Amino acid sequence: MAKYETELSRSFSALADPTRRAIVGRLCDGPKSISELSEPFEMALPSLLKHVRILEESGLVSSEKVGRVRTCRIEPHALRATELWIRQHISAWEERLDRMEAHIERMKRKN
């Protein structure tokens, strides 16, 4: 369980930054080279590489260098673990809200 929690913490920490979320979003369309990833961002290449490194350390992204080209791709298993955590919490809150709604309806009927 501790490993799972650490992976989630890394994922959420990496996704806390809007630039990294945008990178993940672009990679959801398929693998891209670093130069392709950098196109929409107005930042120096070393800054973009720092974001990519953080995403790699979190396990959300992997990269492979062939010659002079580094290609990045999304790691679906890490996104699935994050999605599962979010879904579990959404489900719990939906149940709470349903109970609250039922309680409010009971209170209205009493009045």
Sign of CA dihedral 102, 104, 108, 110: positive
Domains defined for the chain, CATH in brackets: 2-110 (1.10.10.10)
Say how many residues make up the chain: 111
**What percentage of the chain reaches a pLDDT higher than 70?**
95
pLDDT in the model for residue 16: 94
Residues 6+ apart with CB under 8 A from 65: 71
DSSP the chain: -HHHHHHHHHHHHHHTSHHHHHHHHHHTT--EEHHHHHTT--S-HHHHHHHHHHHHHHTSEEEEEETTEEEEEE-HHHHHHHHHHHHHHHHHHHHHHHHHHHHHHHHHHH-
Tens of pLDDT, residues 52-91: 999 999 999 999 999 999 999 999 888 888 888 888 888 7
pTM of the model: 0.75
